[in-house]
Amino acid sequence: MSMHVELDEPKCVAAGQCVMVAPEIFDQRDEDGVAVVLEPLPRPAQYDDVREAVAVCPAAAIRLVEQ
Protein backbone atom coordinates (compact mmCIF):
# COMPACT_ATOMS: atom_id res chain seq x y z
CA MET A 1 0.00 0.00 0.00
CA SER A 2 1.14 3.55 -0.72
CA MET A 3 -0.25 6.93 0.23
CA HIS A 4 -0.29 10.28 -1.55
CA VAL A 5 -1.25 13.48 0.31
CA GLU A 6 -3.15 16.24 -1.48
CA LEU A 7 -4.15 19.63 -0.10
CA ASP A 8 -6.94 21.84 -1.41
CA GLU A 9 -5.28 25.18 -0.57
CA PRO A 10 -8.37 27.36 -1.23
CA LYS A 11 -10.30 25.33 1.39
CA CYS A 12 -7.54 25.63 4.02
CA VAL A 13 -8.51 27.91 6.94
CA ALA A 14 -4.96 28.06 8.37
CA ALA A 15 -5.90 26.39 11.65
CA GLY A 16 -2.57 24.55 11.79
CA GLN A 17 -4.01 21.31 13.15
CA CYS A 18 -2.26 19.27 10.46
CA VAL A 19 1.10 20.81 11.35
CA MET A 20 0.66 19.99 15.02
CA VAL A 21 -0.24 16.37 14.28
CA ALA A 22 2.19 15.67 11.43
CA PRO A 23 4.97 18.30 11.31
CA GLU A 24 7.15 16.16 9.06
CA ILE A 25 4.40 16.18 6.43
CA PHE A 26 2.82 19.65 6.75
CA ASP A 27 3.93 23.22 7.36
CA GLN A 28 2.28 26.63 7.08
CA ARG A 29 3.16 29.58 4.87
CA ASP A 30 4.44 32.54 6.87
CA GLU A 31 2.43 35.13 4.94
CA ASP A 32 -1.05 33.68 5.40
CA GLY A 33 -0.79 30.48 7.46
CA VAL A 34 -2.16 28.27 4.70
CA ALA A 35 -0.87 24.72 4.96
CA VAL A 36 1.66 23.28 2.55
CA VAL A 37 2.53 19.64 1.99
CA LEU A 38 6.21 19.03 2.66
CA GLU A 39 6.12 15.32 1.89
CA PRO A 40 3.34 14.22 -0.49
CA LEU A 41 4.52 10.59 -0.34
CA PRO A 42 4.86 9.78 3.36
CA ARG A 43 6.63 6.71 4.67
CA PRO A 44 4.47 3.90 6.07
CA ALA A 45 5.56 4.83 9.60
CA GLN A 46 3.90 8.24 9.06
CA TYR A 47 0.55 6.97 7.75
CA ASP A 48 -1.23 7.09 11.12
CA ASP A 49 -0.16 10.72 11.69
CA VAL A 50 -1.34 11.70 8.22
CA ARG A 51 -4.71 10.00 8.76
CA GLU A 52 -5.06 11.87 12.05
CA ALA A 53 -4.22 15.16 10.32
CA VAL A 54 -7.01 14.48 7.83
CA ALA A 55 -9.41 13.74 10.68
CA VAL A 56 -8.63 16.94 12.63
CA CYS A 57 -8.61 19.34 9.65
CA PRO A 58 -11.56 21.67 10.34
CA ALA A 59 -11.91 22.55 6.65
CA ALA A 60 -11.58 19.02 5.27
CA ALA A 61 -8.87 20.39 2.98
CA ILE A 62 -6.61 17.31 3.05
CA ARG A 63 -7.21 14.32 0.84
CA LEU A 64 -5.44 10.97 0.86
CA VAL A 65 -5.07 8.73 -2.12
CA GLU A 66 -4.22 5.23 -0.92
CA GLN A 67 -3.35 2.43 -3.31
Domain range summary for the chain, segments of one domain joined by + = 3-66
Q: What is the pLDDT of residue 1?
A: 83
**pLDDT per residue of the chain (67 residues) written in tens, 0 to 9:** 899 999 999 999 999 999 999 999 999 999 999 999 999 999 999 999 999 999 999 999 999 999 8
Side chain identity, residue 11: K
Side chain identity, residue 21: V
pTM metric for this prediction: 0.94
Instruction: Determine the topology of domain 3-66 in CATH.
Output: Alpha-Beta Plaits (3.30.70)
Cβ atoms 8, 63 nearer than 8 A: yes
CA nearest to 60, candidates 21, 7, 24: 7
Q: What is the pLDDT of residue 55?
A: 98
Cβ atoms 47, 2 nearer than 8 A: no
Compute CA 20 distance to the chain's CA centroid, rounded to the nearest angstrom: 10
